[in-house]
Chains A and B, each alone.
Chain A
Amino acid sequence: MKIIGLIITIMTGGFLVYAAGDFPAWSDPSSPASTYLSPYYIEKAIEETSVPNIVTAVLADYRGFDTMFEATVIFSAGLVCFILLRIMGRKEPETRHYRHVLTGVTVTIKEGRKIPASEEFERIDDLWTPPELIIKTACRVLIPFLQLFGLYVIAHGHYSPGGGFQGGVILGASIILLAISHDLRTATERMREKVVAILCPVGVAIYAGTGALCLLLGANFLDYGALASVLHVDPITARSHGILMVEIGVGIAVMTTMIWIYNNISSAGKYNQGL
């Protein structure tokens, strides 16, 4: 089986190298993409959308459908992780462990019983390790700056590299960092499971809703120029604002999907203390 796999891999690689010879040379001015499409974007993007970063204009406006379904793909990935691990995952009889914070004594309680809620006991798992003060403090200082940077990347995607995907990943990573440095329970207290599960489709719906709003205003789907009458600006500025709206939608969807996937994978669908 291994040898067949090796042969298939080498053949595929050989075909790939063979086919790569037929590609136009890098930055070849007479290649099909550079003869009409790229010059059009480079010349017209700023006039038509007033967005200096051409990549963002192409991604969110000229190729808006593409990006919408990319966001949908990411949402589906999160949903599948949730269904496989959280809903269809194995249910085991639960034994709860509680640790008395002041003395460090651990209490084990069998299925179906609970301890009276109090500040003195914290819930722990079998794999509990003492919290690292240095890591916790360093991450606590780092996380606000990460989140601020994520917001900047989303909002500044018009003018510099970045946009909804990257900013959303950075925002999600800040919550994941909280879950790694403290534990998953601390992170899910800040960003509850329900909030994550609701915000994820809401992000995709913001994108699709912006497109549908354009449709209702009498233009094509995702033709942001139609938003001019709602936003009270000229159609070109409206395109810029429309791009920002869908970038925010993508950012919310990507952020919550990253948190959702991490929560489910790191705790195997049990939402206990995680990594």
Chain B
Amino acid sequence: MFWQIDLAILTLVVVTTVGSLMVKDLLGAAILFGAYSFLMCLLWAIMGAVDVAFTEASVGAGVSSVFFVAAVFRTSRRTKD
């Protein structure tokens, strides 16, 4: 795999991680966390760990995002701190 793609994905991983922590809007944080999971899934796939990538895509990017959105819907959308 080209190292440029690797580097781009790694940069985006860091950006989405910091972004999901810094964003005040919790729904936005949930979506950014989903994007982070999907980028991690791409990294696993690049490294040849297809099973792990599959799990990350289904559990991390798919179902856990839904759980976060549901939790935000039932609590509050703004953080206190």
Contact = CB atoms under 8 A, between A and B. Distances in A.
B partners with A: yes
Interface of A: 2, 26, 53, 55-56, 59, 161-163, 165-166, 169-170, 172-173, 176, 180, 258, 261-262, 265-268, 274-275
Given A173-B62, A262-B67, A163 B74 contact: no
A265 B55 contact: no
B59 A165 contact: yes
B41 to A, nearest CB: 12
B69 to A, nearest CB: 7
Contacts of B50: 161
B67 A166 contact: no
Contact of A55 (B51, B67, B73): B51
Give the interface SS of chain B, mostly helix, strand, loop or mixed: helix
A136 B47 CA distance: 38
A166 B57 CA distance: 9
Interface residues on B, range: 10 to 19
B58 A169 contact: yes
A165 B62 contact: no
B70 A265 contact: yes
Contact of B63 (A55, A173, A268): A173
Contacts of B62: 169, 173
A181 B78 CA distance: 25
Nearest to A58: B51
B71 A166 contact: no
A258 B51 contact: no
A169 B51 contact: no
